[in-house]
């Protein structure tokens, strides 16, 4: 009797687990910080060590810019060069689709690092409108880095990145946008007690040690 019950339950567990994870809401960590603060670098390290999927809003926009037949290519290109923020409808659709595709391929992948988003009020509103109730934002991982260090890193990266915005002129604009538009978003989450700040001016290993401590604590 008991044996049959055990057999029955263990047969059902995998499908039950599957169902639970299918219904799992995406768990999101927003990764913010100035250009060159090390968001992408640290996200790669996180992915190697934790079960997160890294989605860079900037990378998704660059992919969309390069996609043949995209109606947004030119608009994205202009915004990126000028350090301006692309209208959220475009970005949110890319993010939503990337999350859905990831979870469809593998239902256990419901933890996301969303890197470089939300960058302004418009981004945040778009997220809240489209993703309300559909995803949980666990916290904001904030890479706090001196602007001069950020500019130096991006200029260094510009020697090989091929990015149209890793030059001094675009960088000045990106820093301005960051200070004017993105910092207030970080402050907003700060008020909600949702910001975990890392001193990002140090070496990759030193920064990652701090990131690890935060993620181990947050679970
Ligand atoms: N961008 C945007 N919306 C986003 C993310 C990026 O418009 O949600 C654009 C913006 O012009 C930004 C550029 O993409 O300056 C590069 O962003 P990315 O995050 O790749 O740069 P990083 O901060 O990592 O150096
Ligand atoms: Mg990046």
> Residue 189: pLDDT above 70?
yes
Q: Is 143 within 8 Å of 207 (Cβ atoms)?
A: yes
Lookup: tokens for 95:
């993010």
What's the mean pLDDT in 105-109? Answer: 95
How much is the pLDDT for 18?
56
What's the mean pLDDT in 114-141? Answer: 97
Q: Is 200 within 8 Å of 37 (Cβ atoms)?
A: yes
Q: How far apart are CA 208 and CA 214, in angstroms?
A: 10
How many domains is the chain partitioned into structurally? Answer: 1
Residue 14: pLDDT band with limits 50, 70, 90: low
Q: How far is CA 211 from CA 137, 202, 205, in A?
A: 17, 12, 10
Q: Is 144 within 8 Å of 197 (Cβ atoms)?
A: yes
Is 15 among the domain residues?
no
Residues lining ligand 1, Cβ inside 6 A: 35-36, 39-40, 56-58, 61, 79-80, 83-86, 91, 116-117, 119, 123, 165, 174
Is 5 among the domain residues?
no
> Residue 21: pLDDT above 60?
no
Going by C-alpha positions, the residue among 174, 189, 145 that lies closest to residue 28 is 189
CATH number at residue 195: 3.40.50.300
What tens digit of pLDDT does each residue of 26-62 get? 999 999 999 999 999 999 999 999 999 999 999 999 9
Residue 23: pLDDT band with limits 50, 70, 90: low
**Residue 29 domain boundaries:** 25-218
> Residue 208: pLDDT above 80?
yes
Q: How far apart are CA 126 and CA 143, in angstroms?
A: 23
């Amino acid at each position: 009797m008991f044996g049959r019950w055990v057999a029955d339950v263990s047969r059902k567990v995998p499908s039950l687990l599957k169902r639970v994870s299918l219904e799992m809401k995406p768990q999101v960590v927003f990764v913010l910080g100035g250009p060159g603060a090390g968001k992408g670098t640290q996200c790669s390290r996180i992915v190697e060590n934790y079960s997160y999927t890294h989605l860079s809003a900037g990378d998704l926009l660059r992919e969309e810019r390069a996609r043949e037949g995209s109606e947004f290519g030119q608009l994205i290109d202009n915004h990126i060069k000028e350090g301006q923020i692309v209208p959220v409808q475009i970005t949110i659709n890319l993010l939503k689709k990337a999350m859905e595709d990831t979870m469809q391929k593998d239902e256990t992948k419901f933890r996301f690092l969303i890197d470089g988003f939300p960058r302004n009020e418009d981004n945040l509103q778009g997220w809240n409108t489209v993703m309300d109730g559909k995803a949980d934002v666990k916290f904001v991982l904030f890479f706090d880095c001196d602007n001069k260090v950020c500019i130096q890193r991006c200029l260094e990266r510009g020697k090989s990145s091929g990015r149209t915005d890793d030059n001094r002129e675009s960088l000045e604009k990106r820093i301005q946008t960051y200070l004017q538009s993105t910092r207030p978003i970080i402050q907003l989450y700060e008020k909600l007690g949702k910001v975990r700040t890392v001193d990002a001016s140090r070496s990759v290993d030193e920064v990652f040690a701090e990131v690890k401590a935060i993620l181990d604590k947050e679970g």
